[in-house]
Chains A and B, each alone.
Chain A
Amino acid sequence: MSEATIPRRAFFHIAAAGAVATQIGCGRRPNTAGQRYEVATACESCPNKCSVIAVVEGGMIRKLNPNPRNPKSRGMLCARGNAGILQAYDPNRLKQPMIREGKRGEGKWRNASWEEAFDYAAGKLAAIKEKYGPQGVVWSSTESFAEIFFKNLGLAYGTPNIVRHPTLCLASVNLAYSMTFGTVPSFDLQNANYVIMAGANRFESFITPDTMDLIESTMNRKARLICLDPRFTVTAAKADTWFPIKPGTDMAFILAMLHVIIGEGRYDKAFLDTYSTGFDKLQAHVIQYTPEWAEKQTEIPASEIVRIAREFSDAAPRAVFYAGRRSSWYQNDFQMRRAQAILNAVVGNWDKQGGMVPNGKMPLGELLFLPWDDPQAPRVDELDKNFPLAAKGDGAYLKLRENVLAGTPYPVKGWMISKQDPFNALPDQSKTLRMMEQMDFIGVIDIQMSDTAWYADVVFPESTYLERTDPIEMLPGIWPAVVMRQQVIKPLHNTKPCLDIVQGLAKRLNLSQYFDYTIEQWNEAAAKEMPIEMPLEYLKKHGVYASPDPPRYGATLQPEHRFVTKSGKIELFSERLQEAGHDPLPVYHAPEQPPAGRFRLVLGRKAFFTHANNTTNPWLLDFQKENRLWMHPQSAKPTGIADGDLVEVTSSVGSVRLRVKVAEEIRPDCVHMLHGFGKRSPWLKRAGEGGADAAILETAWDRVSGNAALHETFVQVRKVGVPS
C-alpha cells in the first residue's frame, strides 16, 4: 500500500493502539524500539493554530491528536485538523521546484533544481526592479507563522505593495472595533447568557472549542441565542429565535436596538460616563431609527426588535452581539460592525465575564536586526487616499487589483505569492486572470499546484506544516498562550520551509543581511522573554505554554485606563472617522436589492471547507463531494427548476454550472453556494464538483476598510440539464 492511498480507517486503527499512551507533554519521545514517537506541534489546516500531538510510527504520521494544554484548542481538533495529515501524504502535492515552459496556464512545466529555480526567479525579480523599480512587484500572502519571512523579503526588496489576507476576510471588523475600543476584543461565549449572531454561523462553519462553548452554553446552561441569517443554517436551527433578515440590513436592526435601549434608559450610564465619549451625539443620532422603521428595512417585526433589545440589555453584561470572523460582506461592512461595537459598549459588557474581553498577551522576545530602507514609491492601491484608516501593512486587495489592471499610478509587472490562491480567494476570476496575464513574472510558494500556481512562472514547493519548524508565536486571547510548530517528520519530497526559500532568493537579490539566521536562532530569541525557565525546551516538549493564571476580567476597568483611541476613551462618536471624511456615527443606507429574476448570492462555509484548499482533501470531501446551489422552491418552480437539475448561474462577470438543491432553508430572494469548488488546476483532480464562487462574484469593497464585499453580487439562474 502506498503512503498516498492509506485510507482513514488504517490510520485510525493503527493509532488507536497507541492513543492511550498519548499523554500531554510528549515532546519527541521515541519508544525503546525507536519506532514510535510523539511530537507536540501546531495545526495549519486553518489559521486557528490549535495545538496538536502527532503520533509517528515506523516513520509515518499515524494520527494527530489534540493537545489539551492549549486553552484555545483544548482537547479538540476539528475535522480539518484531523485530516491535515493528508497534506503530507497527498500524492498530488508539489514535490520539487518547477519552472513554466509553455504559455502561461498551458500546463507545460519542467522540473528544476532549487538552485535553478532561485536563479531564474531572482533574475526576473532583479530585471523588474531595474526596469520598473521595486514597486513593480506585488507581494501577497495569507496569515501563517512563517509569513513574516516572506513579507520581510518583500520589504527588503523595497516594494510598498505588501497585501495580506485580512483585506479579503476580517479587515472591516478589525478596523471597526479598533476605531471604537482601540483593540479587537474576544467574545466570552463560554460565559455569555445572551448571544446575537448576525450572519455568523458558528455551529456549522467553524467548529472550535469556542463553538463548543456556545453549544454547551445554549444547550446546558440555557443561554439564549438569537440568529439573524437569510439562510436557516445549523446555527439558526439551534437558536432560540431565527430571523431570516433581509440581506444587507443588519445595521438597521442594530440601530433600532440602540434606539430602544437608549430610549428606554436601558444602557449602562455609569460605565459610559466613565469610559466613553460621544454618548450625547449617539443618543440624538439613533432617535430616527425606530423599530417600526427597521421593520420595513429588515422584515423583522418591530415588536421582536423591541423584545430582543430589552432581553439583550437585561442580560448584560453577560450579553454579546458577536462580531463573527469573516466580515467581507457589504460595502457598509465597517459601519455595520461599528454599530455592533457601539451596541456592545452601551450595555457595558466591556471587559466583563460573559461579555467582550480585551485580549491578554504574553511576552515574546525577538531577533533584532537592522531593517531595510523605507520604500520610495507610494502603494499602488493608493491606500492613503482611498482608505486612510486601513491597516497600512495589509493593503486593499481589490483596489490594488483595479489599479494594477489600469496601470495606475505606475506599472506592476511581478507578483510573489505565498500560501495564497488569489484565483479563488478574490472575486471575479477573469480580472485575476488578466492581472496574472500582464505579469512578466509570477512566483508561487505553496504545498499544492493551486489554480494560481498553475498560472505561475516558478513554483516553489513548501514543506507541509508537519515537515517543518516555524517561528513560535503568541496567541492573544482571553487565555493567552505561546505555541510552537515543530517538525514531526523529515520532508518526504524535495521541499523546503518558507525561511529557506526566502534565504535562497535573498542571497541572489543581495539581501542576505536581513535573513542571516536560522529558525532555531529566531525561536531562541523569541522564547527568551517568556516567563519560564528553559522556555524553548518547554515548548519543544509540550508544544504550548499557557499562562498559569485563569482568565482575568476587568483589568481595563480603572477610571484612569487609557484606551488606545484618539480620545483615550471608548469612542461612540469618532472624530478620527470624521476627519477621514466618513460618518462619525453609523448612518444607515438601504442596500440595493436584486431586480426581478435575479437573486443575491450569499456565501457561507462548512466547518470542513473553510478554505479553498480544503476541498482537495479526500477525507474532507467524504463529508460533501459536491457544491450545490441552494434555491428556494418559490424561486425554482416558476423557472421549472427541480432539485438536482444542472443550472447555469450568471452574474455580470461570469457564469458557472452546478446542480441545484431546492431548499426551504433560504430566502426566496437569495441563492447560496459554498466556497472552494470548481478548481481549474489539473493537479487538483480530487477537488469536489461544482462551480467556483470566485468566477461569478463581482468586485466590490467596504468603503472605509477596503475589505472585499462578497455579498453584493446578483445572479440569474437558468436550467441547463436534468439529473442523470
Chain B
Amino acid sequence: MKLFTAFLTAASILGAATANPKGNDAKGRFYYKQTCKTCHTKGAKGGEVTPMSKTQAQWKLYFVKAKHNSGTEALLKVMPEEQLRDVQTFLVNHAVDSPQPETCGK
C-alpha cells in the first residue's frame, strides 16, 4: 500500500512536471551522473542508459509512469522529487530527437 501511494504521488507530481518541467538541466545532469550512472553504464547492472536512449516523448512518458527497475520500484525511491524533476529536464532536453545545435567548444 505504501508503495502504491508513493507511485501515485510520483505519477501525479511528475505528470505535472511534464507539463511544465521547471527542473534545472545542469543539476539534472549532475544527479544523473552521480546516481543513475552508477548502474546505467555499459556492462553494469542496469545496462547503458543515456539521454539519447529515448525520444523526448518517451522520456516524458517514463516520468509520468515514474517506475524504475523494470517497473518494480517507484522512481521516488531512487531520488527525491526535486532531483527527479531536474533529471527529467536533463533527459528530455537532450533526448535523441531534441534540438541540440552543436557549438564549437563547450
Given that A174-B104, A374-B24 are known contacts, is A369 also in contact with B99, CB under 8 Å in the complex?
Answer: no
B30 and A372 form a contact (CB under 8 A): no
Given that A148-B106, A166-B103, A184-B102 are known contacts, is A369 also in contact with B30, CB under 8 Å in the complex?
Answer: yes
Return the contact of B106 from the options A151, A368, A371, A566 (Cβ within 8 A): A151
Shortest CB–CB separation between residue A506 and chain B, in angstroms? Answer: 17
A155 to B101, CA, bound (A): 20
B30 and A390 form a contact (CB under 8 A): no
The 0/1 profile, CB within 8 Å of A marked 1, for residues 26-43 of chain B is 110110011000000000
Q: Is A564's beta carbon under 8 Å from chain B?
A: yes
The 0/1 profile, CB within 8 Å of B marked 1, for residues 164-204 of chain A is 10100111001101110011100000000000000000000
A81 to B42, CA, bound (A): 40
Given that A368-B30, A372-B26, A373-B24 are known contacts, is A143 also in contact with B96, CB under 8 Å in the complex?
Answer: no
Q: Is A59's beta carbon under 8 Å from chain B?
A: no
A164 to B104, CA, bound (A): 10
Residues of B within 8 A of A179 (CB): 101
A445 to B30, CA, bound (A): 29
Return the contact of B97 from the options A155, A371, A566 (Cβ within 8 A): A566
Q: Is B105's beta carbon under 8 Å from chain A?
A: yes
- Report the contact-size class of chain B (Cβ under 8 Å from the partner): 10 to 19
B33 and A368 form a contact (CB under 8 A): yes
Q: Is B100's beta carbon under 8 Å from chain A?
A: yes
A370 and B101 form a contact (CB under 8 A): no
A565 to B96, CA, bound (A): 8
B24 and A562 form a contact (CB under 8 A): no
Chain A: CB-nearest residue to B97: A566
Shortest CB–CB separation between residue B87 and chain A, in angstroms? Answer: 13
A361-389 interface (Cβ within 8 A of B)? 366, 368-374, 389
Main secondary structure of the interface of A (DSSP, over half): loop
A688-710 interface (Cβ within 8 A of B)? none
B34 and A564 form a contact (CB under 8 A): no
Chain B: CB-nearest residue to A169: B104
Residues of A within 8 A of B24 (CB): 371, 373-374
A391 and B103 form a contact (CB under 8 A): yes
Shortest CB–CB separation between residue A544 and chain B, in angstroms? Answer: 18
The 0/1 profile, CB within 8 Å of A marked 1, for residues 6-41 of chain B is 000000000000000000111101100110000000
A509 to B51, CA, bound (A): 34
Q: Is A626's beta carbon under 8 Å from chain B?
A: no
Return the contact of A393 from the options B34, B52, B103 (Cβ within 8 A): B103
Q: Is A507's beta carbon under 8 Å from chain B?
A: no
A566 and B30 form a contact (CB under 8 A): no
Shortest CB–CB separation between residue A239 and chain B, in angstroms? Answer: 27
Residues of A within 8 A of B33 (CB): 366, 368
Shortest CB–CB separation between residue B106 and chain A, in angstroms? Answer: 5
B103 and A394 form a contact (CB under 8 A): yes
A564 and B100 form a contact (CB under 8 A): yes
Residues of A within 8 A of B97 (CB): 565-566, 568
A564 and B96 form a contact (CB under 8 A): yes
B102 and A183 form a contact (CB under 8 A): yes
B99 and A389 form a contact (CB under 8 A): yes
Return the contact of A166 from the options B29, B30, B34, B104 (Cβ within 8 A): B104
A370 and B102 form a contact (CB under 8 A): no
Highest count of chain A CB atoms <10 Å: which of B30, B34, B99: B99
Q: Is A216's beta carbon under 8 Å from chain B?
A: no
What are 6 A-B pairs with beta-carbon distances under 8 A? A147-B105, A164-B103, A179-B101, A371-B26, A391-B103, A393-B103
Which 4 A/B pairs are nearest by Cβ-Cβ distance? A371-B26, A391-B103, A143-B105, A391-B101
Q: A residues engaging B (CB < 8 A)? A: 47, 143, 147-148, 151, 155, 164, 166, 169-171, 174-175, 177-179, 182-184, 366, 368-374, 389-391, 393-394, 562, 564-566, 568, 576
Given A171-B103, A368-B34, A562-B96, 4 further pairs, Cβ under 8 A: A170-B104, A368-B30, A394-B103, A566-B99
